[in-house]
């Protein structure tokens, strides 16, 4: 009965004008509203690439297995995974009686179709799955072995393929064969708990529950790019969850009495990168950073705790390398803030202060508007580096169309600011950014043989303890002479209304399944 | 008159072609847009394949010509970010912006006319002074600042009006869904108040001064003095003789204002997270979504040109003293 | 001997040098009208801020003080100074940034109208004097440009060319030329057939000389009015573009970008970050508008209908 009277009650209160003061929201007990900061562009599983887009799609589509909040590998549509001895064949066994939203039975054939369709070059998909997942695991083909068992074939052994495959959204063959690519983009027919009820571009997405899990009948995702407006809507009670809360707004939210902020130490590794390519070595300052002693000196120049405390309003997790703390080398401690030591080390490395007080000139590039308080963080870092004698020319660029192309070509630098998403489920996943010297994500063109020569050893070692020893040794090299100025793991700020209970995850995945009314 | 219409139409078409050329060149000049359409960790082969698939490897003039050819067939291409027909997406966002612009214009007019008349009638008094002053101030306030101040005030201090979002009215109306449209109307208006004020303040201020000065000029004309000397009541003088001629220039400005406002809503829509065409185009430009930008800009320019034409024609009908050619400038 | 002028005032000594007498008349009318005095006063303040900002500013506008960020107005700053108008998200002094911002806003404003005015005047002169296909071409180009909502055009070019002071001036300037061109063209057309121009032609003056030495000086008056309003509108546009993140680089404070930076902290009640730059913009624009209005009335009441 609750379900039927709730909308009527809401309407009544609207009419009575009481909710007029709060904007006559669609707040009812069976609906939860999430505020997003960026527009959604598509529901075609092969095209999804933004985190926000993926978060919504996650509720519409199921996956074979999924990753839990602490990195555990959890069965979902499938209940068993067998990996062949040579590591090139992954066999998943599906649950019985699965269906897609249009009623079609979901069998191994559909799963194979899902994988193959996304990988099909004729479709020209450019989303995260074909672009990153499939190329990282070396996807070759998928085939059904019988009704419930499907085999995924990859090019070579890969210790993290199982985790990467959790990002593949599963759908049904008949439905998607019928639809054109255009239709598929706005009419997803999924296999998950919710279906797409409506999508007003630039404005909101409404999902309706069709099966478990989920405590709310409807999830409304509202697109509110203005940070202050998002927060104001949270405080006003029109929105239940918001991501990307600006640190300056944390206090306001906590004092409002209607919502509070959850801060989680995220998995995104923030760093200043040194571009060590030959091209950049020829630029002013590029030669200086080629010397690992100079790089190590600069580790002491930036006061990371103060940046975190002042600009991010939290004590953040310091980084000692590129692996998330729970999987990192426990013997490494974060570099301390010691500008005098930095200065001495720079002197010893052969870069004393000149007559004008500076040691060398160097350019730094960064995108803006992508990470938490990124502009202010970058400006602060520049100040610290200048205080130890660097003369820095900062170029702040628009993220999507100016900085990203530089990322593609790995040509930003000599200094650049970046944050790369990581994971909790395996140190190797975090290290994969720098798997090969030529990796698309080895933005620094680092080529230290002490790291790259050991990579195949690490990947092929069967004994986990032995593997751990190799990992620790590699991470020590990265700590001493690596191409990053280690900063912090980006804390994520979520504003949560007191009306509901919900726990934020550390990996930027926003899942509403567990959320419920208080 | 018929020849005039034809000539103006041809002029308009030339202008539109110029518009497409400029917007095409403007975005292409920034370098290879391929990178926006591959995922974060794509390989070089992926990138090359995508570049070819999207046609960015062809020479510029080929790309442009093929675009124009498609335009002639009504095909505005596919939005590169949404992978759907660009014009569809633009038309989807247009009603919200039209609602905002219309609201702002009507608000501005409804208040400008009485205020302007009031100021003109009471010329030189405190009424005139304060109205004129407020108008000057109104023309000096940046619209986005006003927006920010209103969000601060109405979002934090007094929660009287919504500070984001939009409830569609025109869309269901056009779709024939009258029940939904009219039941939405109160909430639509409610959501339009703050952004509407932000957008409309400048127009309100300017129109007030326009009405005032226009009326003042007319009131000094001979035929008004004649009417007065004949003993006709002031009110009749005002309405029948003065106002009728005073609103001619106002009509011109107002007709053009719609087009002007349409373009100016970009900043206000951004500040209020309002899902209209301004915000859409701003994002599209940043993302180099060329087909989307083209579709949007051509649409807006066409609306503007059409309005121009209409206003010219109306002007001619209303005041036969105006020549058909060289009437501008 | 005195002479009555069009607006009812009386010229005492018509033989006195024209310019000085004009100035005196200007001063007299301005004082009577009151508002223009305020405008001139404020613009002088702004000009002082723009030129002497580096000396007047109590702090380096880019010096960060992370520990003292988002301080209320009148909080004590480092080295014994005081944050008169508070500090921003990086602890930079708002007052100092406001002063430096005056420099950018005014410079960009004047530079842009110089660019736009120059292009527009030349285009209008050529268009009006020669007529024919040149006239058509120029007017068509103007139409095309005006058919674009200006801000979209500006955004497109800035996104492509990259932001920066020079690009900003270029874009804003190019956006203004049509207004000047149209007025100049109309005036040129009407002057073209006048006697003194005929006389110059008869005397064998070169075309260049006729256009620039005979016609141009006679059409400058209404242009000052346009220019004044134009500066106002350019400053507003610059603020909007900086607000959208397309203006000057982040280490150069401008009023528009200060407003942009204030957005995130609005909800946290840091009102001074949004109020002061906004008021600065408003007063500057208002002053130019008042000035333009007054100029228009002063020069010739008949100009009102054309400007």
Tens digit of each residue's pLDDT (9 = 90 or more) over C143-154: 877 777 787 778
Q: Buried (b) or exposed (e) across A96-127, using 16+ Cβ within 10 A?
A: eebebbeebebbbbbbbbbbebbbeeeebbbb
Cβ–Cβ contacts within 10 Å for residue A391, how many?
17
- Distance, CA of C180 to CA of C116 (rounded, Å): 8
pLDDT beyond 50 at C15: no
Highest mean pLDDT among B53-57, C84-88, C265-269: C84-88
- pTM here is 0.81
Contact (CB<8Å) B144/C149: no
In this complex, the residue of B83, B92, B190 whose CB is nearest that of residue A47 is: B83
Can you tell me the mean pLDDT for A36-44? Answer: 87
Tens digit of each residue's pLDDT (9 = 90 or more) over B221-269: 766 667 667 766 666 666 666 666 666 666 666 666 776 677 678 888 9
Average pLDDT of chain B, as a whole number? 78
DSSP string, A263-320: EEEEEEEEEEEE--SHHHHTSTTHHHHHSHHHHHHHHTTS-HHHHHHHHSSS-PPBPS
pLDDT beyond 80 at B43: no
Tens digit of each residue's pLDDT (9 = 90 or more) over B258-268: 766 776 788 88
Enter the ipTM.
0.75
pLDDT at A399: 78
Which stretches within A149-226 are classed as H helix?
161-164, 173-178, 181-186
Between A190 and A408, the more confident residue is A190
Residue C289: closest CA among chain B residues belongs to which residue?
B136
Contact (CB<8Å) B285/C152: yes
User: Would you give the distance in Å from CA A281 to the centre of its chain?
Assistant: 31
In this complex, the residue of B26, B145, B259 whose CB is nearest that of residue C156 is: B26
pLDDT at A310: 87
Residue A1, C-beta contacts closer than 8 angstroms, at least 6 positions apart: none
pLDDT at B254: 67
pLDDT at A466: 92
Between B255 and A382, the more confident residue is A382
Provide the chain C residues 127-186 that lie in CB contact (below 8 A) with chain B.
140-141, 143-144, 147-153, 155-157, 159-161, 182-183, 185-186
Which of A169-183, A455-469, C184-198 shows the lowest per-residue confidence on average (mean pLDDT)?
C184-198
Which of A22-36, A455-469, B64-78, B178-192 shows the lowest per-residue confidence on average (mean pLDDT)?
A22-36
Tens digit of each residue's pLDDT (9 = 90 or more) over C108-160: 889 999 999 999 998 988 888 888 888 888 888 888 777 777 877 788 778 77
Tokens of C104: 């950018």
- Distance, CA of A248 to CA of B206 (rounded, Å): 38
Closest Cα in chain A, distance from residue C33 (Å) = 43
Closest by CA to A494, choosing from A196, A29, A20, A69, is A69
pLDDT at B293: 83
Chain C adjacent subunits, 3+ CB pairs under 8 A: A, B
pLDDT beyond 70 at B108: yes
In this complex, the residue of A44, A185, A401 whose CB is nearest that of residue B288 is: A401
pLDDT at B328: 42
A307 pLDDT band (50/70/90 cuts)?
very high
Closest Cα in chain C, distance from residue A510 (Å) = 22
- Distance, CA of C238 to CA of A309 (rounded, Å): 34
pLDDT at B42: 60
Residue C153, C-beta contacts closer than 8 angstroms, at least 6 positions apart: B22, B26, C145, C171, C175
Cβ–Cβ contacts within 10 Å for residue A284, how many?
13
Between A332 and B312, the more confident residue is A332
Tokens of B111: 């208040």
pLDDT at B33: 64
Q: Buried (b) or exposed (e) across C136-163, using 16+ Cβ within 10 A?
A: eebbebbbbbbbbbbbbbbbbbbbbbeb
Residue B255 class from Cβ within 10 Å (0-12 exposed, 13-18 middle, 19+ buried)?
middle
pLDDT at B120: 82
Q: Strand, helix or coil at A86? A: coil
pLDDT at C16: 46
- Distance, CA of A192 to CA of A60 (rounded, Å): 5
- Distance, CA of A509 to CA of A5 (rounded, Å): 33
Tens digit of each residue's pLDDT (9 = 90 or more) over C252-302: 888 888 888 888 787 777 888 888 999 999 999 988 888 888 887 777 655
pLDDT beyond 80 at A134: yes
Provide the chain C residues 262-291 that lie in CB contact (below 8 A) with chain B.
262-263, 266-267, 269, 271, 274-275, 278, 281-283, 285-286, 289-290
pLDDT beyond 70 at A2: no
Between B329 and B26, the more confident residue is B26
pLDDT beyond 80 at C95: yes
Can you tell me the mean pLDDT for B83-105? Answer: 89
Tens digit of each residue's pLDDT (9 = 90 or more) over A140-182: 999 999 999 999 999 988 888 999 999 999 999 999 999 888 8
Helix (H) or strand (E) holding A110: helix A108-119
Tokens of B24: 């095409």
pLDDT at A436: 85
Average pLDDT of chain A, as a whole number? 88
DSSP summary character for residue C245: T
Put simply, whether B35 touches C (Cβ < 8 Å) is no
Residue B194, C-beta contacts closer than 8 angstroms, at least 6 positions apart: B147, B150, B151, B154, B161, B162, B163, B272
Tens digit of each residue's pLDDT (9 = 90 or more) over A233-247: 898 888 999 998 888
**Most B CBs within 10 Å: which of A16, A18, A23, A120, as the mutation test of the B interface?**
A23
pLDDT beyond 70 at A472: yes
DSSP string, B175-218: TT-HHHHHHHHHHHHHHHHHHHHHHHHHHHHHHHHHHHHHHHHH
Average pLDDT of chain C, as a whole number? 79
In this complex, the residue of A22, A47, A185 whose CB is nearest that of residue B159 is: A22
Highest mean pLDDT among B75-79, C211-215, C246-250: B75-79
Contact (CB<8Å) C66/A369: no
Tokens of C100: 């430096």
Tens digit of each residue's pLDDT (9 = 90 or more) over A248-259: 888 889 998 899
Cβ–Cβ contacts within 10 Å for residue A406, how many?
18
Which of A325-339, B310-324, C225-239 shows the lowest per-residue confidence on average (mean pLDDT)?
B310-324
Residue C226, C-beta contacts closer than 8 angstroms, at least 6 positions apart: C179, C180, C183, C292, C307
């Amino acid at each position: 009965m609750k379900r039927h009277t709730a909308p009527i009650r809401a309407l009544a209160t609207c009419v009575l004008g009481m909710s007029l003061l709060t904007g006559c929201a669609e707040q009812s007990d069976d609906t939860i509203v999430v505020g997003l900061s960026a527009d959604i562009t598509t529901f075609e599983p092969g095209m999804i690439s933004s985190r926000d887009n993926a978060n919504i799609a996650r509720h519409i589509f199921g996956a074979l297995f999924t990753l839990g909040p602490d990195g555990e590998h959890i069965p979902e549509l499938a209940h068993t995974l067998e990996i062949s001895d040579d590591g090139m064949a992954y066999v998943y066994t599906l649950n019985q009686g699965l269906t897609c939203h249009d009623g079609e039975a979901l069998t191994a054939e559909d799963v194979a179709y899902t994988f193959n369709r996304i990988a099909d070059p004729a479709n020209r998909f450019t989303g995260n799955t074909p672009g990153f997942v499939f190329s990282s695991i070396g996807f070759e083909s998928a085939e059904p072995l019988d009704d419930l068992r499907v085999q995924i074939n990859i090019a070579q052994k890969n210790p993290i393929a199982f985790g990467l495959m959790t990002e593949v959204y599963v759908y049904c063959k008949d439905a998607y064969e019928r639809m054109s690519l255009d239709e598929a983009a706005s009419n997803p027919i999924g296999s998950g708990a919710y279906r797409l009820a409506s999508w007003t571009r630039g404005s909101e997405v409404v999902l309706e529950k069709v099966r478990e899990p989920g405590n709310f009948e409807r999830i409304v995702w509202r697109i509110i790019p203005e940070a202050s407006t998002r927060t104001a809507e949270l405080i006003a009670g029109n929105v239940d969850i918001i991501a990307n809360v600006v640190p300056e707004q944390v206090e306001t939210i906590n004092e409002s009495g209607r919502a509070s902020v959850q801060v989680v130490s995220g998995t995104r590794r923030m760093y200043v990168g040194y571009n060590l390519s030959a091209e950049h070595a020829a630029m002013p300052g590029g030669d200086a950073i080629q010397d690992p002693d100079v790089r190590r000196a600069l580790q002491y120049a930036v006061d990371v705790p103060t940046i975190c405390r002042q600009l991010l309003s939290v004590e953040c997790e310091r980084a000692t390398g590129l692996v998330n703390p729970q999987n990192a080398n426990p013997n490494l401690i974060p570099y301390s803030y010691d500008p005098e030591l930095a200065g001495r080390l720079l002197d010893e490395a052969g870069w004393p202060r000149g007559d004008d007080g500076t040691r060398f000139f160097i350019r730094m590039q960064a995108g803006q508007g992508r990470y938490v308080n990124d502009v202010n963080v970058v400006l602060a870092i520049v100040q610290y580096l200048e205080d130890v004698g660097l003369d820095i020319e900062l170029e702040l660029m628009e993220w999507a169309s100016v900085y990203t192309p530089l990322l593609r070509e790995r040509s930003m630098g000599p200094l650049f600011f970046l944050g790369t998403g990581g994971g909790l489920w395996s140190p190797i996943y975090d290290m994969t950014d720098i798997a090969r010297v030529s990796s698309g994500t080895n933005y620094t063109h680092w080529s230290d043989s002490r790291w790259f020569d050991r990579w195949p050893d690490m990947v092929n070692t069967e004994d986990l303890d032995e593997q751990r020893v190799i990992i620790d040794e590699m991470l020590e090299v990265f700590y001493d002479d690596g191409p990053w100025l280690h900063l912090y793991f980006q804390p994520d700020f979520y504003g949560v209304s007191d009306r509901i209970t919900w726990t934020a995850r550390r990996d930027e995945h926003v899942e509403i399944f567990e959320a419920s009314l208080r | 008159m018929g020849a005039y219409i034809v000539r103006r139409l041809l002029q308009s078409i030339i202008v539109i072609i110029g518009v497409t050329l400029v917007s095409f060149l403007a975005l292409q000049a920034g370098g290879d847009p391929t990178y926006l359409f591959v995922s974060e960790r794509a390989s070089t082969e992926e990138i090359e394949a995508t570049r070819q698939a999207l046609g960015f490897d062809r020479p510029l003039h080929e790309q442009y010509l093929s675009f124009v050819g498609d335009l002639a067939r009504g095909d505005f291409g596919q939005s590169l970010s949404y992978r759907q027909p660009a014009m569809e997406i633009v038309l989807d966002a247009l009603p919200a912006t039209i609602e905002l612009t219309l609201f702002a214009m009507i608000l501005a007019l409804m208040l400008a006319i009485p205020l302007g008349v009031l100021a003109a009638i009471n010329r030189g008094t405190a009424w005139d002074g304060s109205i004129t002053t407020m108008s000057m101030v109104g023309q000096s306030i940046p619209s986005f600042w006003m927006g920010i101040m209103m969000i601060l005030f109405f979002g934090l201090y007094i929660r009287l009006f919504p500070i984001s979002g939009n409830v569609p009215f025109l869309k269901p109306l056009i779709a024939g869904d009258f029940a939904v449209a009219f039941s939405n109307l109160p909430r639509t208006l409610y959501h339009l108040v703050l952004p509407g004020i932000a957008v409309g303040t400048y127009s309100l201020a300017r129109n007030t001064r326009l009405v005032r000065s226009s009326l003042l000029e007319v009131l000094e004309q001979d035929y008004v003095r004649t009417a007065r000397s004949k003993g006709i009541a002031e009110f009749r003088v005002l309405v029948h003789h003065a106002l009728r001629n005073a609103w001619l220039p106002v009509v011109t400005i107002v007709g053009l204002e719609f087009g002007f406002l349409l373009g100016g809503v970009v900043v206000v829509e951004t500040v209020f997270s309002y899902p209209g065409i301004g915000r859409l185009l701003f994002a599209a430009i940043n993302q180099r979504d060329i087909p989307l930008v083209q579709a949007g800009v051509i649409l807006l320019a066409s609306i503007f040109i059409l309005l121009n034409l209409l206003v010219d024609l109306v002007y001619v009908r209303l005041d036969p003293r105006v020549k058909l050619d060289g009437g501008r400038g | 001997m005195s002479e009555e002028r069009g607006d009812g005032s009386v010229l005492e000594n018509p033989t006195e040098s024209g310019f000085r007498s004009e100035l005196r008349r200007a001063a007299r009318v301005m004082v009577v009208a009151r508002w223009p005095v305020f405008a001139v006063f404020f613009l002088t303040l702004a000009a002082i801020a723009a030129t002497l900002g580096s000396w007047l500013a109590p702090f380096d506008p880019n010096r960060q003080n992370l520990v003292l960020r988002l301080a209320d107005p009148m909080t004590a700053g480092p080295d014994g100074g005081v944050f008169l108008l508070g500090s921003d998200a990086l602890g930079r002094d708002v007052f100092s940034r406001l002063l430096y911002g005056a420099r950018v806003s005014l410079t960009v404003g004047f530079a842009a109208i110089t660019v736009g005015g120059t292009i527009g005047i030349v285009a209008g002169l050529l268009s009006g004097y020669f007529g024919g296909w040149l006239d058509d071409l120029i007017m068509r180009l103007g139409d095309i440009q005006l058919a674009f909502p200006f801000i979209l055009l500006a955004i497109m070019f800035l996104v492509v060319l990259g932001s920066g002071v020079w690009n900003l001036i270029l874009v804003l300037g190019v956006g203004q030329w049509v207004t000047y061109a149209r007025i100049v063209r109309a005036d040129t057309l009407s002057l073209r057939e006048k006697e003194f121009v005929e006389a110059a032609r008869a005397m064998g003056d070169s075309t260049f000389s006729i256009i620039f030495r005979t016609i141009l000086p006679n059409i400058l008056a209404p242009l000052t009015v346009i220019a004044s309003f134009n500066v106002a509108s350019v400053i507003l546009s610059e603020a909007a573009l900086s607000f959208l993140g397309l203006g000057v680089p982040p280490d150069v404070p401008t009023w528009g970008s200060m407003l942009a930076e204030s957005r995130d902290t609005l909800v946290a009640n840091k009102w001074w970050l949004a109020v002061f730059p906004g008021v600065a913009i408003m007063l500057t624009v208002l002053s130019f508008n008042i000035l333009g209005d007054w100029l228009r009335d002063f020069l010739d009441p008949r100009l009102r209908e054309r400007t």
